[in-house]
Amino acid sequence: MHYLDYGRGFPILLGHSYLWDSQMWAPQIRALARRYRVIVPDLWGHGRSGDLPASTRSLGDLAIQAGQLLDALRIRECAVVGLSVGGMWGAELALREPSRVRALVMMDTYLGAEPAASQARYFQILDTVESLGYFPPAILDGVVPLFFRQGADMTAPLPTAFRRSLEGISPRTLRKSVVPMGRLIFGRTDQRSRLGGLDPDRTLLMCGALDMARPPSETAEMAGLIGCSHIFIPEAGHISNLENAAFVTSALSTWLARHATHRYGLYE
């Protein structure tokens, strides 16, 4: 598992979205590393991480692996900020190790099962990509816009760079890691009944106000189940931390200043 490690202070673990990598968090890393130690792992088969281990079959396995990374870094306590699948395994880690995760932010994520219609569509896409060994243009035309706000210009630099990154994934990585990871994410079981186990005072939900992949209604539903605060990010879709980076960075900085303890959380 490859990871970035910047700054000093109380540790903040950042989890990125499916099909992106640790560089997705660049604006927040620059800001948060001035005050915190910021650790950003790459998902298996994403960025510079290796293949998805054959034993990885659930979000719980991803959470266990994140905990093992913290063990290896001798970090006893941290805050977790996860977007999309990063929020899914982040919540699982917080539920499994509540004394370790002192604060949790879930962004553009949902702990319910994937709705049947979108699950069927995503599985069909994954089957096609696995068979071909690449993302065909027609599929990219449908997938890329899901990560950005409604009405966003797909010829702008950010969507264009994202599309090129998907075009550049090798057939081997797609088949051994990216496709199986997608099946793991979109085939997840409904975990909403467990959300009451999260501490509402130490949990914040955020969502792009124009997120198509994970609509704000899902965030509002989860916030109600947890009893925690939630924020809708204006002019942002699924990758809200990049589409409205200034808003997200400011909101995270304010919330973490109140909820992330300033003890470093290191093993003695």
**What is the amino acid identity at position 205?**
L
Torsion of CA 220, 95, 66, 58, to 10 degrees: -80
C-alpha closest to that of 231 among 146, 111, 148, 108: 108
When pLDDT is cut at 50, 70 and 90, the band that residue 261 belongs to is: low
When pLDDT is cut at 50, 70 and 90, the band that residue 260 belongs to is: confident
Q: Could you report the per-residue pLDDT of 111-129, keeping only the tens digit for each?
A: 999 999 999 999 999 999 9
Q: Tell me yes or no: is domain 3-113+190-259 CATH 3.40.50.1820.
A: yes
- Spatial distance between the Cα atoms of 107 and 15, rounded to a whole number of angstroms: 10
The residue extents of the domains of the chain are 3-113+190-259, 116-183
What pTM does this model have? Answer: 0.95
SS3 call for 240: helix
- Asked if 265 and 10 touch (Cβ cutoff 8 Å), the reply is yes
pLDDT at 196: 97
